Amino acid sequence: MKTISQKNITLNSDQHDHLQKVNDVIRSSLDSEVPLINQVGKHIIDGGGKKMRPQCLINLAGLAGGVKDIHYQLAAIVEFIHTATLLHDDVVDDSDTRRSSPTANIQFGNSASILVGDFIYSRSFQMMVELDNIEIMDILAYTTNKIAEGEVLQLINKNNFDISQDNYFKVIKAKTGVLFEACGKLACIANKCTLNQKTSLSLIGKIFGEIYQLIDDVLDYSGDVAKIGKNLGDDLKDGKMTLPLIFAAEKANINDREIIKNAINHGDLSQLTRIISIIDKTNSIDSVKKIIKAKLADLELEMSYFKDNIYKDRMMTFISSSIKRDF
């Protein structure tokens, strides 16, 4: 089996067809008689996102035995859940930029963002009910509950310099990992997966989600603003003690630890240059990359349990392209 890092990054017409079918479901399901809902929904849905979760679900469905019509519905539902959380997150975090464009809360206001987020979230549950499948409801009810727990846990830890690595991973597993994990579980719907296959597909999604979030946290202190589509130091401004800073605080001298602590406690972006220097000095980015590498090895192991086919190749390419985003 080739390693993921060796894969070339391509997206063929068949993959575009899959995503087009998901987008068709999204657009038809988002339609509302209320113009503002359509405006905000279009802003966030068409805002240049890569549809990471739908791509993951479709690729894993192919790996699980084949992409069925129901998977396009499920991919749209997952994207709706993700979109609703983005609308709410940007209000909570007072964000002004996403994917190099103004956030919905900046363009339409906080109230509109929250309420349209609620609409999209509730629409996703209408779509679930229409599928009339208790397994789908069970998976997504659990998933949305865990995402909410993750958001609250992150809020509790805001401006908390003393957050542990364990608590950090609890947050990213709930906020990011669990929805990708759901993609693995939903891939088995309408496919005759064994219990072992279901477990592996869930793990592939979960591990990928955690890797994706870890890379996001690294790029917040080392990325190219033009390429990552957001400002450097957003996590610092929001008082989020992510893994690069946790490692830096563990390795730094007393004075540097105090600089990090004060910046996190007050969301002080003016210290960003100094903090990036501390992160570099303590090799904290390399420490995070070692964890990413270990998780990538676990992901490749789970992938190895599946026979080689076009969807396995596409999933590996998808993972590779995600890891290489200016990283």
Predicted pLDDT at 43: 78
Q: Which residues pair with 98 in a beta bridge?
A: 101
Domain boundaries, the chain: 15-311
Q: Checking DSSP bridges between strand 97-98 and strand 101-102, what pairing results, if any?
A: antiparallel
The 3-state DSSP class for residue 98 equals: strand
Predicted pLDDT at 230: 65
Is the pTM for the entire model greater than 0.75? Answer: yes
The 3-state DSSP class for residue 250 equals: helix
| Pairwise CA distance, residues 66 & 87, whole Å | 32
Predicted pLDDT at 91: 82
Burial 152-172 (b: 16+ CB within 10 A, else e): ebbeebeeebebeeebbbbbb
Predicted pLDDT at 6: 40
The CATH superfamily holding the domain 15-311 is: Farnesyl Diphosphate Synthase (1.10.600.10)
How far the first Cα of the chain sits from its last, in Å, is 23
Q: Which residues pair with 97 in a beta bridge?
A: 102
- State which residues of the chain have pLDDT below 70: 1-15, 45, 47-48, 98-100, 223-230, 325-327
Q: Which amino acid is at 110?
A: N
Predicted pLDDT at 50: 80
